[in-house]
């Protein structure tokens, strides 16, 4: 499997930046899950992550990235190094050159337009620098915030995957959206408004 390249400098559009996730983000990640008691449910987790789990993930991050299995990017406000959310790149299928992305933002920074910008930046990087030809977002159909975020980031709605995943003891439908290289704007101005 190809390696996912390391970011030598943050990705940015003047409004939001992305860098590789780091162990120093753990306190803000724990606070975000504490501030939003439903965040873990929207991410398909049975419970919020513990500090120990986040520490293990941080230790394995470079091996996971270099092995082409996935990468987490930390969302930052320009000029700050405080974690405000994450973009998670996972379910990478190198045979078909596609990857799935997920995203969350800390409660206190939602509503600023950062989510579609971060998603657009991450997807553009995957499509231009990482050898991926298709980026997908899969989310529960009633997750209006994520569907809206993906559409604002340039993703195209494709439909509904019925009874697609087993989460929290139930079969669940998933809405699917995608972004292809042909969907990207020719300029670096960010997602469509």
- Residue 167, pLDDT above cutoff 90: no
pLDDT single digits (tens) 56-104: 999 999 999 999 999 999 999 999 999 999 999 999 999 999 999 999 9
Q: In whole angstroms, give the CA distance from residue 36 to residue 70.
A: 25
The proportion of the chain whose per-residue pLDDT surpasses 70, expressed as a percent, equals 95
Q: pTM for the full model?
A: 0.91
Torsion 178-181-184-188 (CA) sign? positive
**In whole angstroms, how far apart are CA 9 and each of 90, 100, 112?**
21, 23, 23
User: Would you state the pLDDT for residue 187?
Assistant: 43
The average pLDDT across 138-146 equals: 93
Gap between the Cα atoms of 177 and 146, Å rounded: 10
Q: pLDDT by residue (tens digit) across 35-59? A: 999 999 888 888 999 999 999 999 9
- Per-chain mean pLDDT for the chain: 93
Predicted pLDDT of residue 184: 87
pLDDT value, residue 185 = 63
Segment 111-137 mean pLDDT: 97
- Measured on CA atoms in the order 64, 70, 41, 75, is the torsion positive or negative? positive
Q: Is the pLDDT of residue 188 over 80?
A: no
State residue 168's pLDDT score.
73
Q: For the chain, which domains are there?
A: 11-183 (3.40.630.30)
């Amino acid at each position: 499997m190809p390696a996912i390249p390391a970011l030598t400098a943050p990705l940015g559009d003047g409004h939001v930046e992305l860098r590789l996730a780091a162990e120093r983000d753990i306190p803000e990640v724990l606070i975000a899950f504490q501030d939003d008691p439903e965040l873990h449910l929207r991410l398909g987790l049975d419970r919020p992550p513990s500090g120990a789990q986040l520490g293990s993930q941080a230790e394995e991050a470079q091996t996971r990235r270099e092995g082409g299995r996935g990468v987490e990017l930390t969302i930052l406000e320009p000029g700050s190094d405080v974690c405000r959310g994450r973009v998670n790149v996972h379910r990478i299928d190198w045979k078909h050159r596609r990857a799935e992305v997920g995203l969350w933002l800390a409660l206190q920074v939602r509503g600023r337009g950062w989510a579609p910008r971060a998603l657009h930046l991450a997807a553009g990087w995957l499509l231009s620098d990482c050898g991926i030809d298709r980026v997908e977002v899969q989310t529960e159909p009633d997750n209006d915030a994520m569907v809206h975020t993906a559409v604002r980031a340039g993703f195209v709605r494709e439909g509904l995957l019925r009874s697609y995943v087993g989460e929290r003891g139930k079969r669940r439908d998933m809405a699917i959206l995608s972004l292809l290289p042909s969907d990207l704007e020719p300029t670096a101005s960010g997602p469509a408004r």
